[in-house]
Protein backbone atom coordinates (compact mmCIF):
# COMPACT_ATOMS: atom_id res chain seq x y z
CA UNK A 1 0.00 0.00 0.00
CA UNK A 2 1.35 3.39 -1.01
CA UNK A 3 -0.36 5.67 1.48
CA UNK A 4 -2.07 6.00 4.84
CA UNK A 5 -4.22 9.09 5.43
CA UNK A 6 -4.56 9.99 9.10
CA UNK A 7 -7.35 12.32 10.21
CA UNK A 8 -7.44 13.51 13.80
CA UNK A 9 -10.55 15.16 15.15
CA UNK A 10 -11.96 16.64 18.31
CA UNK A 11 -15.30 18.42 18.01
CA UNK A 12 -14.30 19.88 14.64
CA UNK A 13 -17.44 21.47 13.20
CA UNK A 14 -16.08 21.23 9.64
CA UNK A 15 -15.29 17.51 9.77
CA UNK A 16 -17.71 16.81 6.91
CA UNK A 17 -15.68 18.76 4.34
CA UNK A 18 -12.59 16.76 5.33
CA UNK A 19 -14.46 13.46 5.02
CA UNK A 20 -15.89 14.43 1.63
CA UNK A 21 -12.44 15.40 0.42
CA UNK A 22 -10.96 12.01 1.36
CA UNK A 23 -13.92 9.86 0.37
CA UNK A 24 -14.07 11.35 -3.14
CA UNK A 25 -10.41 10.96 -4.05
CA UNK A 26 -10.10 9.29 -7.45
CA UNK A 27 -7.01 7.46 -6.19
CA UNK A 28 -8.11 4.60 -3.94
CA UNK A 29 -4.88 2.83 -2.96
CA UNK A 30 -4.76 4.29 0.54
CA UNK A 31 -5.75 3.43 4.08
CA UNK A 32 -7.90 5.95 5.95
CA UNK A 33 -7.39 6.19 9.70
CA UNK A 34 -9.56 8.45 11.87
CA UNK A 35 -8.46 9.15 15.44
CA UNK A 36 -11.13 11.02 17.39
CA UNK A 37 -10.61 12.52 20.84
CA UNK A 38 -14.06 11.56 22.12
CA UNK A 39 -16.03 14.22 20.25
CA UNK A 40 -19.63 15.08 20.99
CA UNK A 41 -22.50 13.07 19.56
CA UNK A 42 -23.14 15.48 16.67
CA UNK A 43 -19.58 15.15 15.36
CA UNK A 44 -19.50 11.38 15.86
CA UNK A 45 -22.76 11.04 13.92
CA UNK A 46 -21.16 12.83 10.96
CA UNK A 47 -18.09 10.58 11.11
CA UNK A 48 -20.33 7.50 11.27
CA UNK A 49 -21.84 8.48 7.92
CA UNK A 50 -18.41 7.73 6.40
CA UNK A 51 -17.57 4.56 8.35
CA UNK A 52 -17.73 2.36 5.25
CA UNK A 53 -14.80 4.32 3.83
CA UNK A 54 -12.76 4.43 7.07
CA UNK A 55 -10.38 1.52 7.64
CA UNK A 56 -9.48 2.30 11.26
CA UNK A 57 -11.64 4.34 13.62
CA UNK A 58 -10.74 5.12 17.24
CA UNK A 59 -12.68 7.46 19.51
CA UNK A 60 -11.17 7.96 22.96
CA UNK A 61 -9.64 10.63 25.14
CA UNK A 62 -6.10 11.60 24.25
CA UNK A 63 -3.32 13.93 25.39
CA UNK A 64 -3.60 16.35 22.47
CA UNK A 65 -3.19 16.53 18.71
CA UNK A 66 0.23 14.85 18.56
CA UNK A 67 -0.85 12.01 20.85
CA UNK A 68 -3.70 11.42 18.40
CA UNK A 69 -1.28 11.53 15.45
CA UNK A 70 1.01 9.04 17.17
CA UNK A 71 -1.94 6.68 17.64
CA UNK A 72 -2.70 7.00 13.95
CA UNK A 73 0.92 6.22 13.04
CA UNK A 74 0.72 2.97 15.02
CA UNK A 75 -2.07 1.77 12.70
CA UNK A 76 -0.53 2.99 9.45
CA UNK A 77 0.39 0.38 6.84
CA UNK A 78 1.22 2.65 3.91
CA UNK A 79 4.71 3.49 2.70
CA UNK A 80 3.89 7.17 3.17
CA UNK A 81 1.67 8.95 5.70
CA UNK A 82 -0.50 11.98 5.00
CA UNK A 83 -1.87 13.94 7.97
CA UNK A 84 -5.14 15.42 6.76
CA UNK A 85 -6.60 16.76 9.97
CA UNK A 86 -10.25 17.54 10.55
CA UNK A 87 -11.25 20.87 9.03
CA UNK A 88 -8.67 20.83 6.22
CA UNK A 89 -9.08 19.18 2.82
CA UNK A 90 -7.11 17.94 -0.13
CA UNK A 91 -6.94 20.64 -2.80
CA UNK A 92 -9.14 18.67 -5.20
CA UNK A 93 -10.45 15.15 -5.74
CA UNK A 94 -7.65 14.13 -8.11
CA UNK A 95 -4.54 15.30 -6.25
CA UNK A 96 -3.62 11.89 -4.77
CA UNK A 97 -3.95 10.31 -8.20
CA UNK A 98 -1.78 13.03 -9.72
CA UNK A 99 0.95 12.34 -7.16
CA UNK A 100 0.83 8.58 -6.67
CA UNK A 101 -0.82 6.79 -9.61
CA UNK A 102 1.77 4.76 -11.55
CA UNK A 103 4.56 6.57 -9.70
CA UNK A 104 7.16 5.38 -7.25
CA UNK A 105 9.23 7.46 -4.84
CA UNK A 106 12.29 6.73 -2.73
CA UNK A 107 12.52 10.15 -1.06
CA UNK A 108 11.83 10.29 2.67
CA UNK A 109 9.49 13.29 2.50
CA UNK A 110 7.43 14.48 -0.45
CA UNK A 111 6.07 18.00 -0.16
CA UNK A 112 4.18 20.56 -2.21
CA UNK A 113 2.21 23.80 -2.14
CA UNK A 114 -0.63 24.80 0.18
CA UNK A 115 -3.74 26.89 -0.44
CA UNK A 116 -4.15 29.03 2.69
CA UNK A 117 -7.72 30.11 3.50
CA UNK A 118 -8.41 32.60 6.27
CA UNK A 119 -11.56 33.09 8.32
CA UNK A 120 -12.99 35.51 5.74
CA UNK A 121 -12.49 33.05 2.88
CA UNK A 122 -9.55 34.88 1.31
CA UNK A 123 -7.02 32.54 -0.28
CA UNK A 124 -3.38 32.55 -1.30
CA UNK A 125 -0.93 29.85 -2.34
CA UNK A 126 2.20 29.21 -0.27
CA UNK A 127 5.13 27.91 -2.29
CA UNK A 128 7.93 26.27 -0.28
CA UNK A 129 11.47 26.24 -1.67
CA UNK A 130 12.34 23.58 -4.24
CA UNK A 131 15.34 22.52 -2.19
CA UNK A 132 15.10 22.12 1.57
CA UNK A 133 18.08 22.89 3.79
CA UNK A 134 18.27 22.93 7.54
CA UNK A 135 18.70 26.71 7.55
CA UNK A 136 15.29 27.07 5.88
CA UNK A 137 13.73 26.17 9.21
CA UNK A 138 15.32 29.16 10.89
CA UNK A 139 12.73 31.40 9.27
CA UNK A 140 10.14 29.05 7.76
CA UNK A 141 8.70 25.56 7.76
CA UNK A 142 6.66 23.09 5.76
CA UNK A 143 2.90 22.91 5.82
CA UNK A 144 2.31 19.60 7.59
CA UNK A 145 -0.79 18.72 5.57
CA UNK A 146 1.09 19.37 2.32
CA UNK A 147 3.63 16.63 3.05
CA UNK A 148 3.82 12.86 2.69
CA UNK A 149 6.22 11.29 5.21
CA UNK A 150 7.66 7.79 5.05
CA UNK A 151 6.26 5.57 7.79
CA UNK A 152 9.73 4.08 8.27
CA UNK A 153 11.03 7.45 9.54
CA UNK A 154 8.76 7.23 12.57
CA UNK A 155 9.86 3.67 13.21
CA UNK A 156 13.51 4.71 13.03
CA UNK A 157 13.47 8.12 14.74
CA UNK A 158 10.37 8.00 16.93
CA UNK A 159 6.97 9.67 16.89
CA UNK A 160 5.95 13.25 17.61
CA UNK A 161 7.22 14.69 20.88
CA UNK A 162 4.26 15.33 23.19
CA UNK A 163 6.26 18.03 24.98
CA UNK A 164 5.22 20.39 22.19
CA UNK A 165 1.50 21.12 21.89
CA UNK A 166 1.41 22.98 18.54
CA UNK A 167 4.80 22.79 16.81
CA UNK A 168 5.90 19.18 17.25
CA UNK A 169 5.69 18.61 13.48
CA UNK A 170 8.10 21.54 13.01
CA UNK A 171 10.48 19.88 15.50
CA UNK A 172 10.09 16.55 13.68
CA UNK A 173 11.10 18.04 10.31
CA UNK A 174 14.17 19.58 11.93
CA UNK A 175 15.10 16.29 13.55
CA UNK A 176 14.67 14.39 10.27
CA UNK A 177 16.74 16.79 8.20
CA UNK A 178 19.41 16.73 10.92
CA UNK A 179 19.60 12.96 10.40
CA UNK A 180 19.90 13.38 6.64
CA UNK A 181 16.33 12.78 5.46
CA UNK A 182 15.76 13.46 1.75
CA UNK A 183 13.06 15.85 0.47
CA UNK A 184 11.31 15.89 -2.91
CA UNK A 185 9.34 18.95 -4.03
CA UNK A 186 6.25 18.47 -6.20
CA UNK A 187 4.92 21.64 -7.80
CA UNK A 188 1.28 20.93 -7.06
CA UNK A 189 -1.18 22.41 -4.56
CA UNK A 190 -1.88 19.58 -2.15
CA UNK A 191 -4.03 21.01 0.63
CA UNK A 192 -6.65 23.60 1.46
CA UNK A 193 -5.39 24.75 4.86
CA UNK A 194 -7.80 26.77 7.00
CA UNK A 195 -6.10 29.21 9.38
CA UNK A 196 -8.77 29.02 12.06
CA UNK A 197 -7.17 25.82 13.37
CA UNK A 198 -5.02 25.32 16.46
CA UNK A 199 -1.65 25.65 14.72
CA UNK A 200 -2.78 28.92 13.14
CA UNK A 201 -2.47 30.56 16.59
CA UNK A 202 0.62 32.59 15.80
CA UNK A 203 1.56 33.62 19.31
CA UNK A 204 1.63 30.11 20.74
CA UNK A 205 3.19 28.62 17.61
CA UNK A 206 5.99 31.20 17.58
CA UNK A 207 6.76 30.58 21.25
CA UNK A 208 7.17 26.86 20.71
CA UNK A 209 9.19 27.34 17.53
CA UNK A 210 11.61 29.67 19.29
CA UNK A 211 12.15 27.02 21.96
CA UNK A 212 12.71 24.35 19.30
CA UNK A 213 15.14 26.55 17.37
CA UNK A 214 17.42 26.79 20.40
CA UNK A 215 17.55 22.98 20.40
CA UNK A 216 18.79 22.74 16.81
CA UNK A 217 20.53 26.10 16.21
CA UNK A 218 22.86 28.25 18.24
CA UNK A 219 22.22 32.01 18.51
CA UNK A 220 25.32 32.49 16.39
CA UNK A 221 23.92 30.29 13.62
CA UNK A 222 20.64 32.20 13.64
CA UNK A 223 22.35 35.59 13.61
CA UNK A 224 24.82 34.59 10.91
CA UNK A 225 22.02 33.30 8.74
CA UNK A 226 20.15 36.59 8.85
CA UNK A 227 23.34 38.60 8.47
CA UNK A 228 24.26 36.86 5.21
CA UNK A 229 20.76 36.23 3.90
CA UNK A 230 19.17 39.64 3.94
CA UNK A 231 21.13 42.23 1.99
CA UNK A 232 20.47 44.54 -0.93
CA UNK A 233 23.72 45.23 -2.78
CA UNK A 234 24.86 47.29 -5.75
CA UNK A 235 28.30 46.88 -7.32
CA UNK A 236 29.35 44.82 -4.33
CA UNK A 237 28.33 47.47 -1.82
CA UNK A 238 25.67 46.65 0.77
CA UNK A 239 23.07 49.40 0.44
CA UNK A 240 20.48 48.00 2.86
CA UNK A 241 21.01 45.13 5.25
CA UNK A 242 18.72 43.28 7.60
CA UNK A 243 20.57 41.84 10.58
CA UNK A 244 19.31 39.88 13.52
CA UNK A 245 20.83 40.20 16.95
CA UNK A 246 18.56 37.69 18.54
CA UNK A 247 15.71 38.35 19.21
CA UNK A 248 15.76 41.80 17.51
CA UNK A 249 16.10 42.54 13.79
CA UNK A 250 17.77 45.75 12.56
CA UNK A 251 17.44 47.38 9.15
CA UNK A 252 20.49 49.50 8.29
CA UNK A 253 21.94 51.68 5.51
CA UNK A 254 25.47 50.61 4.49
CA UNK A 255 25.60 48.28 7.52
CA UNK A 256 26.07 51.40 9.67
CA UNK A 257 23.04 53.64 10.01
CA UNK A 258 19.94 52.07 11.58
CA UNK A 259 16.64 52.79 9.82
CA UNK A 260 14.33 50.62 11.88
CA UNK A 261 14.16 47.90 14.49
CA UNK A 262 11.77 44.94 14.57
CA UNK A 263 10.95 43.33 17.90
CA UNK A 264 8.02 41.07 18.73
CA UNK A 265 6.63 41.75 15.24
CA UNK A 266 6.49 45.51 15.92
CA UNK A 267 8.44 47.96 13.76
CA UNK A 268 10.20 50.91 15.44
CA UNK A 269 11.67 53.73 13.35
CA UNK A 270 15.09 55.06 14.26
CA UNK A 271 14.55 57.73 16.89
CA UNK A 272 11.19 56.24 17.90
CA UNK A 273 12.43 53.17 19.73
CA UNK A 274 9.77 53.62 22.37
CA UNK A 275 6.85 53.74 19.94
CA UNK A 276 6.06 51.07 17.31
CA UNK A 277 4.74 52.56 14.06
CA UNK A 278 2.94 49.38 13.02
CA UNK A 279 2.77 45.64 13.59
CA UNK A 280 3.81 42.99 11.09
CA UNK A 281 1.09 40.47 10.39
CA UNK A 282 1.56 37.13 8.73
CA UNK A 283 2.35 33.53 9.38
CA UNK A 284 5.24 31.22 8.82
CA UNK A 285 4.77 28.17 6.62
CA UNK A 286 3.55 25.04 8.46
**For residue range 62-114, what is the model confidence (pLDDT) as tens digits?**
999 999 999 999 999 999 999 999 999 999 999 999 999 999 999 999 999 99
Q: In the prediction, which pLDDT does 283 show? A: 41
Indicate whether 228 pLDDT > 90. no
Residue 223, C-beta contacts closer than 8 angstroms, at least 6 positions apart: 243, 244, 245, 246
Q: Which CATH superfamily is domain 3-216 in?
A: Spore Coat Polysaccharide Biosynthesis Protein SpsA; Chain A (3.90.550.10)
Residue 30 pairs in a beta bridge with 3
Rounded average pLDDT over 18-24: 98
Q: In the prediction, which pLDDT does 249 show? A: 65
> Which stretch of 7-16, 18-27, 263-272 has the lowest confidence by average pLDDT?
263-272
Indicate whether 208 pLDDT > 70. yes
Q: In the prediction, which pLDDT does 201 show? A: 60
Q: In the prediction, which pLDDT does 255 show? A: 62
Indicate whether 118 pLDDT > 90. no
Q: In the prediction, which pLDDT does 241 show? A: 61
Strand 248-253 vs strand 257-263: parallel, antiparallel, or unpaired? antiparallel
Q: In the prediction, which pLDDT does 256 show? A: 61
Q: In the prediction, which pLDDT does 286 show? A: 37
Q: In the prediction, which pLDDT does 274 show? A: 53
Burial 196-227 (b: 16+ CB within 10 A, else e): ebebbeeeebbebbeebbeeebeeeebebbbe
Q: In the prediction, which pLDDT does 196 show? A: 76
Of 28, 23, 29, 32, nearest in space to 2 by CA = 29
Higher pLDDT, 254 or 42: 42
Rounded average pLDDT over 146-162: 98
Residue 178, C-beta contacts closer than 8 angstroms, at least 6 positions apart: 134, 216
Indicate whether 251 pLDDT > 80. no
Indicate whether 60 pLDDT > 70. yes
Indicate whether 231 pLDDT > 60. no
Q: How far apart are CA 54 and CA 19, in angstroms?
A: 9
Domain locations in the chain as residue ranges: 3-216, 219-279
Q: In the prediction, which pLDDT does 239 show? A: 63
Rounded average pLDDT over 239-262: 63
Indicate whether 285 pLDDT > 50. no
Task: Report whether 152 contacts 77 (CB < 8 A).
Answer: no
Q: In the prediction, which pLDDT does 199 show? A: 52
- On average, the pLDDT of the chain sits at 86
Amino acid sequence: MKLSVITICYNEKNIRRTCESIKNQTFKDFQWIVIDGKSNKKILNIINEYRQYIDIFVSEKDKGVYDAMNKGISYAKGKYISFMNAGDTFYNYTILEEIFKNKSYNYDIIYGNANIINGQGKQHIEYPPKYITKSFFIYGGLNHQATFIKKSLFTKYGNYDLKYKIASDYEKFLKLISFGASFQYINKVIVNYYTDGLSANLVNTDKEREIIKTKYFSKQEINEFYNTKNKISFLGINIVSIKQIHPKIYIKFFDLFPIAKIKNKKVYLCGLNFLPIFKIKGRENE
